[in-house]
Structure 1
Amino acid sequence: MLEVNETDFHVQLSEYSFERRFDERGAIQWMQENWSKSFMFSALYAALVFGGQHYMKTRPKMNLRLPLILWSLSLAVFSILGVIRTAPFMFHILSSSGLRRSICDQSFYNGPVSKFWAYAFVLSKAPELGDTAFIVLRKQKLIFLHWYHHITVLLYSWYSYKDMVAGGGWYMTMNYTVHALMYSYYAARAAGLRVPRPFAVLITSAQIAQMVMGLTVSGLVYRWMQQGDCPSRLDNITWAMLMYLSYLLLFSNFFYQTYLRRHAKTTKTE
């Protein structure tokens, strides 16, 4: 297994006490024993979402402006902190040891600083399901991409963390980065701030770029796994590539329908 010189990195980015005390072995063991509970969370989520939509059909929509601001702001802060703590770790590996090691190295799961944020990332996929409650209770349009994305990210994250599969550092750091932008945007919109349209375009573009990079990383993991130094499994790589490919198609379609087709219709009407 490839390993990063943790001592050198510790000098560059000091740990907080809660990061130092974090027991990643216990966390990984818990996930190995309990990762299948993600299916229970997903089933409960789907039942509440579609049951909630049925319940709200004959009832007035709720405002929930303040709870939505607090919810989005808390997830924005969490994601920003995740970027601040994980991106330097990934940059250190990438700049000192190259792309191959940044993908194949497993120390993201047990290295200084990043070990806590790797576990926090996978756990956060359960409470993030709460996003949909605001859509249902405010009677907004719920698109397939939204709930499909929430369920599959939860399942794949828990499934992969237990095995410390290669590529995890890239997957998590990219997602932290995109969510930092996305939830900041949601918080600003919920607060009634006028956010320039290009910022929304930037977020969706970043999501598409994330999916392209996710496919690239998964492909490289498969290639280097054949040489014995990129720990993963064929079933995990297969699920990762199917997931990222479906996301790429769905987000690209969302981009087209929201920014290109709608803009073309507006221009034609004018």
Structure 2
Amino acid sequence: MALPWIKHLEENFDSDKQHVWFLKNWWLAFIFSTIYFVGVFVGRAWMENRPKFELRRALTAWSGGLAVFSIAGAIITIRELVDYLSHDGWHSSVCDATIFDGRIGLWTWLFILSKVPELGDTVFIVLRKQKLMFLHWYHHITVLLYAWYSYRDQIAPARYFIVANFTVHAVMYSYYALRASGFVKIPRQVNITITLMQLFQMVIGCAVNVYALFQLNAGRKCDTTYQNVAWSLVMYFSYFVLFAQFFYNAYITMGPKKDVKNRHSNEMNGNHRVKMD
């Protein structure tokens, strides 16, 4: 049962007002992304000759907060998806943009907004002087831009993107929080599982987009656009290639165990990513 104040927000969410705002201001995602990109590399230069910060407590709290948010989002959006599939079927779940209104509309909106604070993941990498991989900042920037762009267009396939991303992040940020706390020793199999979940997330993204594309080509109603499908396919396929490359380097090729562990820690901090993954 939802907390009273959350229920109040869900019942009073003004989806039309938020849509109008994004129609006018979605370009702000480019501003956030530019500030983030510049800040990341300026920060790395600033930290180059300085000792690293540990920040374990802060990282535990940060990851724990995002884990709680993602778990709540996953529970609510998965339940909505299951209910929708049982009543309206697969086609409608992909092609009818009903996730922007009502209770689920609030969580869709919160998901979109969350892509800005999630940029804070990189602050810990920079201040702790961990290796910053291309996939990390590329993923953060492109997810933010695509999420805000898609909320402007209110595309129906976003239902699957959001469910997949919330679910992966629920597991991933819980893992980060436990690892940062130092209280629990997490088996390597958990790392592998999370990366496999991320790869599956990209497969879902590509599959849903391909289905939506077929519907558009057949002249059937589907609440998306050719342009959005094209950008989304490029994004998801590039993520799949990068995560597959990481999986191969981290878990299949032979190398020093310590190096593999460090590569995984730094790379895993880069997903959300998609996450609208």
Fold-level similarity (TM above 0.5): yes
1:235 to partner: Cα distance: 1.0
Contact 2:64/2:174 (<8 A) preserved: yes
Per-residue CA distance 1:161-204 (angstroms, 9 max, x = gap) = 11111201000111000000100000010001211111111100
**Do residues 258 (structure 1) and 237 (structure 2) align?**
no
Q: Letter of the aligned partner of 1:101 in structure 2?
A: S
Per-residue CA distance 1:44-89 (angstroms, 9 max, x = gap) = 0001100000000000000111110000000000000001111111
Equivalent residue number for residue 88 of structure 1: 79
Q: Letter of the aligned partner of 1:230 in structure 2?
A: C
Q: Letter of the aligned partner of 1:82 in structure 2?
A: G
Q: Distance in 2 between matches of 1:265 and 1:185?
A: 19
Q: Distance in 2 between matches of 1:158 and 1:228?
A: 25
Aligned counterpart for 1:232 among listed residues 195, 217, 224:
224
Equivalent residue number for residue 274 of structure 2: none
Q: Distance in 1 between matches of 2:45 and 2:121?
A: 18
**Do residues 159 (structure 1) and 152 (structure 2) align?**
no
1:264 to partner: Cα distance: 9.2
Q: Unaligned regions of 5+ residues in structure 2, if any?
A: 1-5, 259-277
Equivalent residue number for residue 24 of structure 1: 15
**Do residues 44 (structure 1) and 35 (structure 2) align?**
yes
Q: Distance in 2 between matches of 1:125 and 1:87?
A: 19
Q: Distance in 1 between matches of 2:257 and 2:122?
A: 29
Contact 1:35/1:159 (<8 A) preserved: yes
Q: Among the aligned pairs, what percent are the same residue? A: 45
Q: Distance in 1 between matches of 2:171 and 2:154?
A: 27
| Alignment RMSD (CA, Å) | 1.4
Aligned counterpart for 2:181 among listed residues 187, 191, 195:
191
Aligned positions of 1:1-270 closer than 5 A: 16-110=7-101, 112-192=102-182, 193-226=184-217, 227-262=219-254
1:123 to partner: Cα distance: 0.3
Contact 2:60/2:181 (<8 A) preserved: yes
**TM-score scaled by length of structure 2:** 0.88
Q: Letter of the aligned partner of 1:258 in structure 2?
A: A
Q: Letter of the aligned partner of 1:113 in structure 2?
A: R
Contact 2:157/2:212 (<8 A) preserved: yes
Q: Unaligned regions of 5+ residues in structure 1, if any?
A: 1-14
**TM-score scaled by length of structure 1:** 0.90
Q: Letter of the aligned partner of 2:41 in structure 1?
A: F
Deviates more, 1:196-205 or 1:94-103: 94-103
Equivalent residue number for residue 6 of structure 1: none
Contact 1:85/1:113 (<8 A) preserved: no
